[in-house]
Structure 1
Amino acid sequence: MTLTQLEYFCAVCRYHSITRAADALYVSQPTISTSIRDLEKEFHLKLFHHGKNRISLTKDGEAFYQKAEYILKQTQELYTDFSNSAENRHPLRIGIPPMISTVFFPRVTDQFQKEYAIPIQLFEYGSLRARTLVDSEQLDVAMANMDFYNLDKYNHYVMMEDRYVYCVSRTHRYAGETEITMEMLKDEPVILFNTDSVQTQTVITCLRSAGITPNVHMYCSQLTTVLNFVRSGRCGAFLYSSIAANPRDFIEIPVTPEITSKFGIIWKRGIFIPDQLTKFVIFIKAYDVTPYLPAL
């Protein structure tokens, strides 16, 4: 028996539904069903009657529920009593991509900490690397470009959508163009973010689909370095329009055909969700990203 199993069981009791409990706890329905079966097997009990559209507790289930609720309440009180000071609280570990961090971080985390007084540790990783760290539970949650193939493996929430633009200096030979196609970038030196970036993988795929071998001048992890190379006039770079829209000393050129990406947060499925992560997810869902949205 684990506290997570008790949490899942009690949620089903409160909602009278595995589906609604799974939605509330951000886990999959099979995860909750398996936990309940394991409890029934361990204690040799039948906990629920399963009806057509509703489940209800058996007599043994009612008694088990009372005990489980008491255990969870005592656990929460223990956590509250000994985790009030910042020194005793584990920080919420958040991964952020180098480029997206400039859009509305640290405003988000500053406001979250002000509201909840929960300590935070920020780690800068590309979306692909951050995803593996969420898998291994080295990160609690990650802000990510959500254009990877197995997104449904994670709990996730989409915050915004953005489009790619190609950025060059005002002296670049393409500075006067009204659009950029992949074919125009044949032999053109470009700066890309590191290979753990979903954006970089997307750009390389688009170039190769057009029969273009990418002429990558440099793979980089820092937006400042990318912009310095762009300003030099020798290279161009793909950025998101919400970043390029800020007053800059370079030109942003629409990409044709248009490339868009969705951004949001991901966190691991099938594990106990700590209180600080639940608060962060709720906070993000209520956060107003309108000032950062590009005109798509």
Structure 2
Amino acid sequence: MKLKQLEVFVAVADHKSFSRAAEALYLTQPTVSVYISGLEKELNAKLFVRNTKEICMTEQGTQLYQYAREMLILQNQIMELFAADSRKAKPRLVVAASTVPSRYLLPDILARYKEKHPYGQLELRESDSARVIADVASHVVDVGFTGTVIENKSCRYLPFYEEELAVIMPNTERYRAILEQERDLDWIRQEPLLMREEGSGTRKEAEKQLRLSGLDVAKLHVAASVESTETIKRSVKNGIGITIISSLAVREEIAAGTVLAFPAGKNRSTRKLYLVYNNSYALSRQAEKLVKVVQELYPECGESDTAWKPG
């Protein structure tokens, strides 16, 4: 078994496509197929199930994936440690992030990271908070950024940013009157509510704020659960319903007056965004560098008691 085979295997698993993996690795698709076929023959195992739309890992493939990722991480660490010229070493940093940090904070973070450390390879995966934390816990990504905490013995959370949640409404005469007259969230009982999907950090925090306001989420009129923040914003603007969402995600719409914002709780309702890493493994040098960049950009956010502190 060769490390190149494992690199190709991980790329196919990540991209769920032989052609996209070939493009990412600067190989031809037949070459990728040869690597995978050789690996399957050597292990006497079927690693992928192929269909017309995409490919999926088999149970054996899933078992191999974690080991393969760990071996590639170690390879990168060795290459970085012993490379005579750091520009010749291209360590790979894989970052997972939920929607809000991925779209509204990571562009600045990753731009600063690439400015300070231009020679590594960077891969960003966007999903919901639950998936991000699961990937960190499984050590298939180096670090994650998430909008909530889900307890996991392998994960440590470093709070780095605090933001507000807000109830977002169409900018109509009816909702302008609600904004002027109402002082609590009871009026939401009669409204069609658009929520982020299960597993979303925004949804978990929104449900928490509703409970703190004395509202039973199960008794509210949840008209739809939507994965896309952009779809929710457009739906609100078109009068389909209201939502509870990150103020980061709608700051431009609020400034432009296309939507209205109502406080998501009696007091100022805030939540923290977190950088999360797997405490069972040593962080790679590239991951350490990314954490330092986050701390440089957001020094006002203190570390949690159990957070890792880079040397």
Structure 2 counterpart of 1:163, one-letter code:
E
Structure 2 counterpart of 1:193, one-letter code:
R
Structure 2 counterpart of 1:199, one-letter code:
T
Report the Cα offset of residue 289 of structure 1: 7.7
Report the Cα offset of residue 90 of structure 1: 4.2
2:191 to 183, 188, 203: 188
Which residue matches 1:89?
90
Asked if residue 216 in structure 1 is aligned to residue 222 in structure 2, the reply is: yes
2:245 to 236, 239, 243: 239
Native 8 Å contact 1:187 1:215 kept in 2: yes
Q: Which whole-Å deviations, capped at 9, do the CAs of 1:209-241 have from their partners, x for residues lacking one? A: 523523222222222111110111121111222
Q: Relative to 1, partners in 2 of residues 1:76 and 1:228: Cα closer, same or farther, differing over 3 Å?
A: closer
Inter-partner Cα distance in structure 1 for 2:173 and 2:275: 36
Report sequence identity in percent: 17
Q: Which whole-Å deviations, capped at 9, do the CAs of 1:101-127 have from their partners, x for residues lacking one? A: 332231211221121012211111111
Inter-partner Cα distance in structure 2 for 1:107 and 1:141: 17
Question: Which 4+ runs in 1 deviate beyond 6 A?
Answer: none
Q: Relative to 1, partners in 2 of residues 1:284 and 1:78: Cα closer, same or farther, differing over 3 Å?
A: closer
Which residue matches 1:18?
none
TM-score (norm 2): 0.61
Report the Cα offset of residue 129 of structure 1: 1.4
Q: Relative to 1, partners in 2 of residues 1:77 and 1:141: Cα closer, same or farther, differing over 3 Å?
A: closer
Report the Cα offset of residue 207 of structure 1: 3.9
Native 8 Å contact 2:206 2:245 kept in 1: no
Inter-partner Cα distance in structure 2 for 1:268 and 1:189: 39
Superposed, 1:1-296 pairs within 5 Å as 79-81=82-84, 84-85=87-88, 89-117=90-118, 118-146=120-148, 148=149, 150=151, 153-171=154-172, 173-176=174-177, 177-178=179-180, 181-207=184-210, 209-212=214-217, 213-246=219-252, 247-248=255-256, 249-258=258-267, 259-288=269-298
Q: Relative to 1, partners in 2 of residues 1:127 and 1:172: Cα closer, same or farther, differing over 3 Å?
A: farther
Report the Cα offset of residue 135 of structure 1: 0.5
Native 8 Å contact 1:182 1:206 kept in 2: no
Inter-partner Cα distance in structure 2 for 1:237 and 1:150: 26
Inter-partner Cα distance in structure 1 for 2:116 and 2:92: 15
Report the Cα offset of residue 137 of structure 1: 1.0
TM-score (norm 1): 0.64
Structure 2 unaligned blocks of 5 or more = 1-76, 301-311
Native 8 Å contact 2:136 2:144 kept in 1: yes
Native 8 Å contact 1:98 1:221 kept in 2: no
Structure 1 unaligned blocks of 5 or more = 1-73, 291-296
Inter-partner Cα distance in structure 2 for 1:84 and 1:91: 13
Inter-partner Cα distance in structure 2 for 1:273 and 1:181: 45
Inter-partner Cα distance in structure 2 for 1:152 and 1:188: 39
Report the Cα offset of residue 81 of structure 1: 4.4
Inter-partner Cα distance in structure 2 for 1:225 and 1:162: 21
Which residue matches 1:12?
none
Inter-partner Cα distance in structure 1 for 2:266 and 2:85: 56
Native 8 Å contact 1:169 1:250 kept in 2: yes
Q: Which structure would you say has the larger Rg?
A: 1
Native 8 Å contact 2:210 2:265 kept in 1: no
